[in-house]
Amino acid sequence: MTRIGVYVCHCGLNIAGVVDVEKVVEYAKGLPDVVVTKHYTYMCSEPGQRMIQDDIKALNLDRIVIATCSPRMHEETFRRAVAEAGLNPYLTEIVNLREQVSWAHTHEPEKATEKAKALVRMGVARARLLEPLEKRKVTVEKSVLVVGGGIAGIQASLDLADAGFKVYLVEKAPSIGGRMSQLDKTFPTLDCSACILTPKMVDVTKHQNITLLTNAEVTNVKGFVGNYEVSILRKPRYVDAERCVGCEICTKACPVKVLDKFNENLSEKRAISIYSPHAVPKIATIDPDYCLRLKYKKGVCGKCQDACEAKAINFEQQTETIQAKVGGIVLAVGSEVFDASRMVELGYGRFKNVISNIEFERISDASGPTGGKILTPKDGKPPETIVFIQCVGSRDKRFHEYCCRVGCMATLKQAILAREKISENVKIYVCFIDMRAFGKGYDEFYRRARDMDIDFIGGLPSEIHSAPDGSLYFDVFDKGTNKLLEMHADLVVLGAGLVPNSDLGNISALFHASRSADGFLLEAHPKLRPLETAMAGIFLAGACQGPKDIPDTVAQASGAAAKAIDLLLSGEIELEPLKAVVDKDLCSGCRICESICPFIAIEIKPEVVNGNERLRAEVIEAMCQGCGLCSSACPTGAIKIQQYSNKQVLTQVEAALEEACAEGGK
Amino acid sequence: MLREGSELSLVDLMSMAKPNLESREKILAKLRGRELVNCFQCIKCTSGCTALKLLELKPHEIIKLVNLGFVDELPSSDIIWTCVTCLKCVQRCPQKASPYHVIMALRNLAVEREAKVPEGYLKAVSQILETGLAETAQKVVTRKMETVDRECLKLPKIISPKVGFQAVFMKTMEEK
């Protein structure tokens, strides 16, 4: 004989403001096997939980139905409370009266109350069939894979390594540093990006717990939380890392000129080169797409080989696959800058003196193509008028609807740098829609820009023209003066936003990490679980989750590292018992479940029965997420999800139809 | 009693005009979507407006006036007729709020309210009704300064519209 307790939560006025909770409680009293029914303002609060616990002990309850918010919100809370009172936590049933009733039917309180009654009736029917389950424990590998060696990946790696965990840091480019290493100064303090980043980059190579794999990509991920097996492909540099001393004599010998990606193609480098002035590791790399020897085979060129005193050049170097077992994964793959040539009206790509903000960083940087002098790309002269144009590719339904979150501050910084570096007489204008200076010290930075006679025009131009002499001009209507202004500029800097990496689709597929509508990687919960993906053990750091500036990126990276430490620290983790279970007698080995499982959690294994070999499905328990796809696809009904068996679900359906049938009969 | 309903919560102190939400809804009903309300005043439309240089058209102001409900003075104003329909604002609006479509809706509202419509537009309509053509055949002057028409170029005569054309045309116009 089951003894059920039903508890209805008001959730302040969230539920009680719409649903008549007293009526629901009154109704629940009449349901079979219900021993006690109560309602309370906040069931999740300490007194609310204690009320349930006291009743379990005093009334000997063995099933608990709680009508409250979504189980995603507080199911764990209530299970813990029930377990503390000595009952198996899986004998708790949550009925969602908030997201599915009061919030959905705010304007129909009477109908909402009826729906609440029906849901409680269904919950009680199901509760009777709940089975006690035990969590399973799995050991975890005490190491972490960090994908991406920008500031996010570097910070996460250092935090993890300092905490004593082994870290594999994988970076696609020949050097770590990422986007931040391309920046000149950083807002709002104007400290030099290289000065604060380079020491961290060096720390990475020196840390005994970090294995740094540059020029490498993750190609395969298998396994499950705590036990991921990853394959990492290291592309050849054609330079022996042990021998290269970074003297760059090879670069001087190389005859092939290549556009320098690190300098945003504003300058040239050689086919053999070191990635950037602050590269870590400082090892030369040959670009096989341009190297004459690698393109045209033996006997050609080889000048770098002749020049290298350390004998580090090795044209025979091959790709290498590295296997690693890790407990958790931090994705820190960053973002790209919007390709402003897609906004044709602004002339980027057609007019040389229209540049993007990331190009401005390289022009302003002391290690950039102009040695830190701000000169126009077209004629190499210091500009007399600079105009910044905001929201390029962002807040625009044609391209990206979101705010890029860094454009305003990046422009303020660049405007200030231009004022400091060029002269007091250079005219600087910023055309903007809204100025978003929301962070710590940001609005003060905006004021600093105004102090420096930088002028702000409240409006965006529609198009940019080039005069026959090559100078740029355009019209812009200013909200403040209510005037149409014609502006002439030597240099136009476009505030291009951050966009998802072009290969984020592959990364998302590789790690089973979903993406949100904006194209970035999706966090498990936008407010309460911003550092995790929906896949257990895979964490997010930095701009791959959404556009971010450096302070936010570093904060998220440390957070993701802490989350990973939390996962790995105890050496074992508990897994939810709500998994698929195969009834071997019913399984026909048809492999439908294997093909449909999104978590690769089903293995088909041969089994000998009465001397005949037959195929049988087997669930790899640690990988199964209990999604139920296999169960609904199985033609023989051999797979069930624990706590969601056909009987348990159909009983609920019957309970749902009960009243409807009764009404129909009237 | 200062306020009666939400439409009276604003008063334009320059003209003492009050918003008219009913007229605003009328405009919105004439548009395919409600994107108009997404306008965040980036002013791109006005910066690039071909007609602004000629006359007083500021598309961003029209959008804001309609959004706030100050619709009533617009149909009788000259500015809605100065748009040259270059469609630049439609192409470049980052919020797809399309001032062009709003201006067309205001023109239709002007006709409905029998407000003053510039003569050229009325001429164009009566010409279509008479001849079936938006543009009639004109005489042309060649480089040798000879004036030629269709007849001397031996082009076929333009046929007048069939009987009943006017009725069908008017009916179609009303349906739109």
CB–CB contact B42 A433 (8 Å): yes
Query: What order do you get walking across the sheet with A92-96 strand by strand?
Result: A34-40, A4-9, A63-68, A92-96
Q: Going from the N-terminus, what domains does chain A have, and what CATH number goes with each?
A: 4-133 (3.40.50), 150-233+322-334+501-568 (3.50.50.60), 249-307 (no CATH), 336-499 (3.50.50.60), 580-642 (3.30.70.20)
Distance, CA of A121 to CA of A96 (rounded, Å)? 12
The DSSP result for B37-55, as a single string, is GG-----HHHHT-HHHHHS
Chain B nearest C-alpha distance from A405 (Å)? 17
Sign of the alpha-carbon torsion through A453, A457, A460, A465: negative
For chain B, the structural domain boundaries read 9-112, 135-175
> Which uninterrupted H or E stretch holds A41?
none
Nearest CA in chain A to B58: A477
Rounded to the nearest angstrom, the minimum Cα separation between A477 and chain B is 5
Q: Which residue of B has its CA nearest to A345?
A: B92
Residue with token string 């003066």: A481
pLDDT-derived band at A7, boundaries 50, 70, 90:
very high
- What are A497-518's pLDDT values in tens digits? 999 999 999 999 999 999 999 9
The distance of A100 to chain B (nearest Cα, Å) reads 28
What's the mean pLDDT in A21-31? Answer: 95
- Answer whether residue A665 shows pLDDT above 60: no
Question: Chain B residues with CB inside 8 Å of A460's CB?
Answer: 42-44, 47
Determine the pLDDT at residue A610: 81
For the CA atoms of A77, A81, A87, A93, what is the dihedral angle to 10 degrees?
-40
- List CB contacts (< 8 A) between A461 and chain B: 44, 47-48
CATH numeric code, B9-112: 1.10.1060
Cα A305 to Cα A251, A273, A317: the distances in Å are: 11, 13, 13
Cβ–Cβ contact B39 with A under 8 A? no
* A458–B48 C-beta distance less than 8 A: no
> How much is the average pLDDT of B30-37?
88
Asked whether the predicted pLDDT for residue A666 surpasses 50, the reply is: no
- Determine the pLDDT at residue B4: 46
The minimal CB distance from B46 to the residues A433, A463, A477 is found for A477
Facing residue for A461 by CB, picked from B40, B41, B47: B47
Interface touch A433/B40, C-beta < 8 Å: yes
Say if residue B125's pLDDT is above 80.
yes
Does the distance separating the beta carbons of B92 and A345 come in below 8 Å? yes
Q: Does B132 touch chain A (CB under 8 A)?
A: no
Structure tokens at B85: 């329909």
Asked if A458 lies within 8 A of B43 by C-beta distance, the reply is yes
Global ipTM:
0.80
B chain contacts of residue A475, beta-carbon cutoff 8 Å? 47-48
Residues of B in Cβ contact (< 8 Å) with A396 = 94-95
Contact A459 B94 (CB under 8 A): no
What residues have CB less than 8 Å from A13, skipping those under 6 apart? Answer: none
Contact B47 A477 (CB under 8 A): yes
Please give the pLDDT value at position A55.
Answer: 96
pLDDT in the model for residue A209 = 97
The number of beta carbons lying within 10 Å of the beta carbon of residue A160 is 29
Residue in B44, B61, B98 to test binding to A, most A beta-carbons within 10 Å: B44
Cβ–Cβ of B42/A476 closer than 8 Å?
A: no
Which residue from A minimizes the CA distance to B48? A462
* Residue of chain A with shortest Cα separation from B43: A459
Residues A370-428: pLDDT tens digits?
999 999 999 999 999 999 999 999 999 999 999 999 999 999 999 999 999 998 899 99
Cβ of A460 within 8 Å of Cβ of B43? The answer is: yes
Strands (E), chain B: 140-141, 147-148
Inform me whether the C-beta atom of residue B53 falls under 8 Å from chain A C-beta atoms. yes
Interchain proximity B46–A433, CB inside 8 Å: no
Q: From chain A, pick out residues whose CB is under 8 angstroms from the CB of B60.
A: 477
Q: Kindly state whether B150 is in contact with chain A, defined as any CB-CB distance less than 8 angstroms.
A: no
Which residues of A are less than 8 Å from B40 in CB distance?
Answer: 395, 433-434
Dihedral in degrees, nearest 10, Cα atoms A390, A393, A396, A397: 180
Cα separation, B16 vs B28, in Å, equals 24
As a whole number, mean pLDDT of residues A488-494 equals 96
Tell me: the pLDDT tens digits for A531-544?
Answer: 999 888 999 999 99
Residue A330 has pLDDT above 60, yes or no: yes
Which residue numbers of A have CB closer than 8 Å to B's CBs?
345, 391, 395-398, 433-434, 458-463, 474-479, 484
pLDDT of residue A576: 83
Residues of chain B with Cβ-Cβ distance to A459 below 8 Å are 42-44, 46-47
User: What confidence category does residue B3 fall into, taking pLDDT thresholds of 50, 70 and 90?
Assistant: very low
Mean pLDDT of chain A: 94
B contact test, residue of A403, A408, A460, A479 with most B CBs within 10 A: A460
Question: Contact, A355 vs A490, CB < 8 A?
Answer: no
- Give me the mean pLDDT over the A67-96 stretch: 95
Q: CA dist A31 to A28, A40, A248, B139, B174, Å?
A: 5, 20, 82, 92, 62
At residue A141, the pLDDT reads 95
CB contact under 8 A, A484 and B47: yes
Instruction: Check whether A78 has a pLDDT greater than 60.
Output: yes
Between A and B, how many residue pairs show a Cβ–Cβ distance under 8 A? 61
pLDDT tens digit string along B49-85? 988 866 677 999 999 999 999 998 888 888 899 888 9
Residue B50 forms contact with A (CB below 8 Å) = no
- Beta-bridged to residue A318, according to DSSP, are none
DSSP B77: S
Interface contact flag, B47 A476, Cβ < 8 Å? yes
Q: Which of A432, A464, A473, A477 to mutate to test the interface with B (most CBs of B within 10 A)?
A: A477
Q: Which residue of A has its CA nearest to B92?
A: A462
CB B46 to CB A396 under 8 A? no
- The stretch B110-131 carries a mean pLDDT of 89
User: Hey, is the C-beta of B90 within 8 angstroms of any chain A C-beta?
Assistant: no
| B contacts of A434 (beta carbons < 8 Å) | 40
Q: How far apart are CA A358 and CA A294, in angstroms?
A: 32
Instruction: List pLDDT tens digits, range A97-149.
Output: 999 999 999 999 999 999 999 999 999 999 999 999 998 888 999 999 999 99
pLDDT of amino acid A376: 94
